[in-house]
């Protein structure tokens, strides 16, 4: 074991400023894009006032403007990774700070709300085309997560997954919320789970989506409703984690992991993780509780294991900027399931102070566990090339002194 750690960030973001996606969008959607982009820019501008008030403000951005272009500029990105000591990264859409999100609502939110299915697909595939090119710079280091608006057309999603694999991508994200579409226990999604299992494509859910109009009003983000609906942000931060875990609740009970035992799923940036063990306990309780079973019919007959068994076999956690308090719960969460992430370039991320974060967070932490959480778990889960990454780490990775 080399002294230098292979650090893998399982939560980074990459994407073009929205207008720059045009060359990657099919020509027939260009006119629509010309109309939609200014509207989306205006919405983002308004949302940044009512939602992420200080997050992406000018004062924060000014001194790091150049570095933020690493969201789409490859040499800048390599410098960022070197600065943070990151050997490999998993890349989601939406840099956010520079309005860098795919058009037509195909980015991190990937919400069915107000989406036009054909356009959302067009925006998603535009991002996926760009992402495949970007990752091709060094496939061992960059794991791109393609955007797949699964809800509208499962067969189209299956074909998109095949396209991804043909183009070097083997990770996808699907909507965390399904709106009025069938939820993920529905058998209509079977062909999608099947192709992901077959081709070794890992399915991701990323934190963020939630029913914002319920919190902030129907006219959000166009109108500020904070006087009429006080505390909306408190509700949002208290619920967002639940919406993130929710797809797993449906997939586990729906028997998805029973039918596709090699399917892998990651839930990313779940915030503080202390809700995870009680959530698992609740699922297991409902699985084992005989009274429910007798009263409500045998809803577990199709499951050969308890919910937490599927969780431990099929699921990993993208634990962005994980605080020490959560690391201390690692036995309950699953010590081989926690995978660190820097969340570059989001302002809540550890970037550009990752080295400092390592020292304060991992001080007097068991080195073996630390190595797993910071990289080895991800190397194994994503099937990365350890040899190549060790060579990178030997050049830019942190050493084990953080554990002292």
| 347 binding a copy of itself? (CB under 8 A) | yes
| 186 binding a copy of itself? (CB under 8 A) | yes
Residues 13-52 contacting a copy of itself, CB under 8 A: 51-52
Please, which residue, 17 or 255, has the CB nearer to a copy of itself?
255
**Residue from the set 23, 38, 75, 230 that interacts with a copy of itself by CB under 8 A:** 230
Residues 45-64 contacting a copy of itself, CB under 8 A: 51-55
Please, which residue, 278 or 366, has the CB nearer to a copy of itself?
278
Please, which residue, 200 or 323, has the CB nearer to a copy of itself?
323
How many CA atoms are closer than 13 Å to the CA of 14, on its beta-carbon side?
A: 30
**Residue from the set 2, 137, 187, 401 that interacts with a copy of itself by CB under 8 A:** 187
Please, which residue, 242 or 366, has the CB nearer to a copy of itself?
242
**Residue from the set 38, 75, 182, 355 that interacts with a copy of itself by CB under 8 A:** 182
Residues 254-313 contacting a copy of itself, CB under 8 A: 254-255, 272, 274-275, 278, 281-283, 285-287, 291-292, 294-297, 299-300, 302-303
Q: Which residues contact 315 (CB under 8 A, 6 or more apart)?
A: 248, 264, 265, 266, 267, 337
Nearest to 148 by CA among 131, 40, 135: 131
Question: To the nearest whole angstrom, how small is the minimum distance from the Cβ of residue 348 to a copy of itself?
Answer: 6
| 210 binding a copy of itself? (CB under 8 A) | no
Question: To the nearest whole angstrom, how small is the minimum distance from the Cβ of residue 266 to a copy of itself?
Answer: 21
**Residue from the set 24, 205, 215, 365 that interacts with a copy of itself by CB under 8 A:** 215
**Residue from the set 58, 114, 227, 387 that interacts with a copy of itself by CB under 8 A:** 227
Distance CA 261, CA 102 (A): 32
Question: To the nearest whole angstrom, how small is the minimum distance from the Cβ of residue 314 to a copy of itself?
Answer: 15
| 133 binding a copy of itself? (CB under 8 A) | no
Q: Which two tokens stand for residue 128?
A: 């996926």
| 237 binding a copy of itself? (CB under 8 A) | yes
Residues 238-257 contacting a copy of itself, CB under 8 A: 238-239, 241-242, 246, 249-250, 252-255
Please, which residue, 245 or 362, has the CB nearer to a copy of itself?
245
Question: To the nearest whole angstrom, how small is the minimum distance from the Cβ of residue 94 to a copy of itself?
Answer: 16
- Give the interface with a copy of itself as residue ranges (CB under 8 A): 51-55, 182-183, 185-188, 214-215, 217, 227-235, 237-239, 241-242, 246, 249-250, 252-255, 272, 274-275, 278, 281-283, 285-287, 291-292, 294-297, 299-300, 302-303, 347-348
């Amino acid at each position: 074991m080399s002294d230098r750690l292979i650090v893998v960030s399982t939560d980074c973001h990459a994407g073009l400023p929205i207008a720059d996606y045009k060359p990657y969008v099919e020509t027939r959607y260009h006119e629509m894009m010309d109309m939609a982009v200014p509207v989306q820019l205006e919405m983002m501008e308004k949302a940044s006032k009512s939602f992420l008030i200080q997050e992406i403000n000018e004062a924060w951005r000014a001194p790091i403007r150049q570095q933020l272009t690493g969201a789409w500029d490859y040499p800048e990105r390599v410098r960022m990774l070197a600065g943070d000591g990151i050997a490999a990264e998993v890349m989601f859409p939406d840099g956010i700070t520079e309005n860098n999100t795919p058009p037509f609502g195909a980015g991190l939110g990937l919400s069915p709300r107000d989406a036009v299915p054909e356009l959302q697909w067009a925006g998603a595939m535009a991002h996926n085309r760009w992402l495949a090119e970007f990752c091709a710079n060094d496939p061992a280091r960059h794991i791109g997560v393609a955007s797949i608006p699964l809800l509208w057309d499962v067969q189209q999603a299956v074909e998109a997954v095949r396209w991804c694999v043909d183009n070097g991508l083997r990770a996808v994200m699907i909507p965390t919320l399904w709106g009025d579409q069938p939820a993920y226990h529905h058998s209509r999604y079977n062909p999608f789970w099947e192709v992901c299992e077959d081709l070794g494509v890992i399915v991701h859910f990323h934190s963020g989506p939630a029913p914002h109009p319920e919190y902030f009003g129907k006219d959000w983000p166009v109108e500020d409703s904070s006087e009429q609906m006080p505390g909306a942000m408190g509700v949002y931060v208290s619920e967002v984690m639940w919406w993130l875990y929710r797809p797993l609740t449906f997939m586990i009970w729906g028997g998805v992991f029973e039918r596709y035992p090699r399917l892998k799923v990651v839930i990313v940036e779940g915030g503080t993780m202390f809700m995870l063990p009680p959530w698992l306990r609740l699922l297991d309780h409902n699985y084992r509780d005989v009274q429910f079973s007798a009263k409500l019919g045998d809803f577990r007959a199709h499951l050969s294991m308890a919910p937490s068994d599927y969780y431990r076999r099929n699921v990993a956690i993208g634990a962005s900027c994980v605080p020490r308090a959560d690391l201390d719960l690692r036995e309950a969460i699953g010590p081989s399931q926690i995978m660190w992430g820097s969340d570059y370039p989001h302002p809540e991320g550890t970037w550009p102070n990752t080295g400092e974060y390592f020292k304060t967070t991992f001080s007097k932490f068991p080195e073996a566990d630390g190595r797993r959480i910071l990289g080895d778990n991800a190397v194994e889960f994503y099937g990365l090339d350890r040899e190549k990454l060790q060579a990178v780490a030997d050049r830019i990775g942190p050493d084990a002194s953080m554990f002292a």
